[in-house]
Structure 1
Amino acid sequence: MTRRQASSTRRGGLSRILHSKSKSSPLLSISLVLFGAILLILYACSGSGVLGGRKDVVSRVEGDFSCTFEVSSAIPVLKNAYGGSMKNVLHVGPESCSVVAKFLREGETEAWGVEPYDIEDADRNCKALVQKGIVRVADIKFPLPYRAKSFSHVIVSDALDYLSPKYLNKSLPELARVSADGIIIFAGYPGQRRAKIAQLSKFGRPAKMRSSTWWQQLFTETSLEENEAAVKKFEQAASKMSYNPACQIFHLNSYH
């Protein structure tokens, strides 16, 4: 008799546990659904920038560092430093459409672009800029399709890092030729990664990050002088606007 009572007691306890779980399962399901919905909302917000998410931050995490995204962030600082002298700008480098579009949206400064590589995967807005002739696809290893001093300033990013010294000695003077008031170069720091494997077919070679000393030597060899006044104004504007660049930024005078 005692053994049967124990068995009966175990069955009763199991029944109560199962009954308790059956009551809590709807609540658990609702909690999981709400948790999933919150995660989806947070993900959507981060992608749209509501939580301060930036495309360049994501790119850095993935190892696909880009100074072009840095240019977009630096535009307000550049305008503050250069003032009204930055009248018409030529951006040279991959994703040039994004930089040109930002300049055009903010007004005041006219902007054009040179995309050194194919744009087969470009969006509709970028292709529209190309069709209008605002952005051109051109290999910067060769002369640019513009007259001398066509632009007040030339901004370069994510392009020179891929060129060997042989081509840099030709491309830099060409950039200086089409600029009237200055050249601004955004270059990666040594140790930074650049370009995914899939991009190597476009660039032809992996990016090579050079030190500021290396760049300064190249500028000397190509008779390009640093614009000390612009450097000072940019540093002051960056400090005032709490801007901390993630790329090396060089301010050079054009040929006169």
Structure 2
Amino acid sequence: MSRRPTGLSRRLGDGASIPFMGSLHPKSRPSPFLSIGLVLVGAFLIIGYLYSGSGGNGFDKAALSRLEAGASCSSEIYQALPYLKKAYGDSMHKVLHVGPDTCAVVSQLLKEEDTEAWGVEPYDLDDSDANCRSLIRKGIVRVADIKFPLPYRSKSFSLVIVSDALDYLSPKYLNKTLPELARVSSDGFIILSGYPGQRTFKVAEMSKFGRPAKLRSSTWWIRFFVQNRIEENEVAIKKFEVAAAKKAYQSTCQIFHLKSFL
């Protein structure tokens, strides 16, 4: 049973004073510091309102969202999609996305004209929404550990896009996973990886990945590709860079265009 805080009411009844109560007395004079503080708070509120309403000199709400959540290469796919279509053309008709938030990525890809899309979610979906559960029920999205062979036949997809997943794998498992990405694709696969020093997820979300992300430099990735005889797709790289340059698009993630195995 809880005890009632009778001591406070008894002290009030005895006429004892309460700290800061004097500032509320009608005859007391307001502190000049209090007035200055109220003016500053009001100014900040007005500035915040103007920025939220007008965009504030190019202030990007989407960029703020990505910054707050950590730079997500899965969300970067939305910005890169027009340039990927320029680079791959017909190869974008049958796409597999591998990585967290794949339900959202697949849903976006399905909105594209003449595009079929599937997804692999490498991590448990504890709080999936109705749309994601529907995609899983239909077999469009699968939950699978990418440390093991992917549950698809060879060359099942024209293009495979993987984001925010390989950064959590050690080289031991990368040696197994990258050949799998190449195996299930016919026209190539794309890797989106964070830059070293970049945080890809909130600290609170780290537990579901089992280990923190290890973001590697482009030099590390290129050396790894060479060692595993995975070739870069020079044609796709050139087309992507030309399309991106026309719109001054700069990715917040590293994007690697790779060939499938013959």
Partner of 1:211: 217
Between structure 1 and structure 2, the one with the greater Rg is 1
2:66 is aligned with 1:64:
no
Once the two structures are superposed, the pairs formed by residues 239-254 of structure 1 within 5 Å of their partners are 239-254=245-260
Is 1:148 the counterpart of 2:154? The answer is yes
Shift of 1:126: 1.2
Which residue number in structure 2 is paired with residue 53 of structure 1? 61
- Which has the higher mean CA deviation after the structures are superposed, 239-248 or 179-188? 239-248
Please report how far the alpha carbon of residue 202 of structure 1 lies from its aligned counterpart in structure 2 after TM superposition.
Answer: 1.4
The answer to whether the 8 A contact 1:195-1:206 is kept is no
Could you tell me how far apart the structure 1 residues matched to 2:228 and 2:146 are? 16
Specify the alignment match of 1:105 in structure 2: 111
Q: Which residue of 2 aligns with 1:132?
A: 138
What amino acid is the match of 2:221?
W
1:63 touches 1:193 (CA, 8 Å); kept in 2? no
Distance 1:236 1:210 in 2: 25
Q: Tell me how far apart the structure 2 counterparts of residues 83 and 222 of structure 1 sit (CA, whole Å).
A: 27
Q: Which ranges of 4 or more aligned residues in structure 1 deviate by more than 3 Å?
A: 38-43
For 2:167 and 2:64, the matched residues in 1 are separated by: 20
Q: Distance in 1 between matches of 2:153 and 2:130?
A: 28
Q: Are the counterparts in 1 of residues 71 and 198 from structure 2 also a CA contact under 8 Å?
A: yes
Task: Please give the alpha-carbon distance, in whole angstroms, between the structure 2 residues aligned to 1:90 and 1:230.
Answer: 17
Instruction: Name the structure 1 match of 2:201.
Output: 195
Percent of aligned positions that are identical: 61
Secondary structure, counterpart of 2:66 in structure 1: helix
Using the TM superposition, give the Cα deviation of residue 58 of structure 1 relative to its aligned residue in structure 2, in angstroms.
1.5
Contact 2:96 2:157 in 1 (8 A): yes
1:107 CA drift (Å): 2.3
- Structure 2: distance between partners of 1:57 and 1:165: 32
3-state SS of 1:126 partner: helix
Structure 1 gaps of 5+ residues are 1-31
For the residue of structure 1 that corresponds to 2:100, the secondary structure is coil
2:82 aligned partner: 76
| Counterpart for residue 28 of structure 1 | none
Q: CA RMSD in A?
A: 2.2
Q: TM-score w.r.t. structure 1 length?
A: 0.78
1:52 CA drift (Å): 5.4
Q: Is the 8 A contact 2:73 2:200 kept in 1?
A: no
Structure 1 counterpart of 2:174, one-letter code: L
Aligned equivalent of 2:188, options 182, 186, 192: 182
1:77–1:241: 8 Å Cα contact kept in structure 2?
Answer: no
1:114 counterpart = 2:120: yes
What is the alpha-carbon distance in structure 1 between the residues aligned to residue 93 and residue 176 of structure 2? 26
Q: Which blocks of at least 5 consecutive residues in structure 2 are unaligned? A: 1-41
For residues 165-212 of structure 1, give each alpha carbon's deviation from its aligned partner in whole angstroms, at most 9, with x where no partner exists.
010000000111101010100011111112222222211110011011
**2:93/2:114 contact within 8 Å kept:** yes
Q: Could you say what secondary structure the match of 2:208 adopts? A: helix
Q: TM-score, normalised by structure 2?
A: 0.77
Return the match for 2:179 from 173, 179, 183. 173
- When residues 41 and 195 of structure 1 are mapped into structure 2, their CA distance, relative to the original with a 3 A threshold, is closer
Give CA deviations for 1:64-123 in whole Å, capped at 9, x if unaligned: 221001012111110011112322000000001111111111222111000001112121
Amino acid paired to 2:259: N
Number of equivalent positions: 215
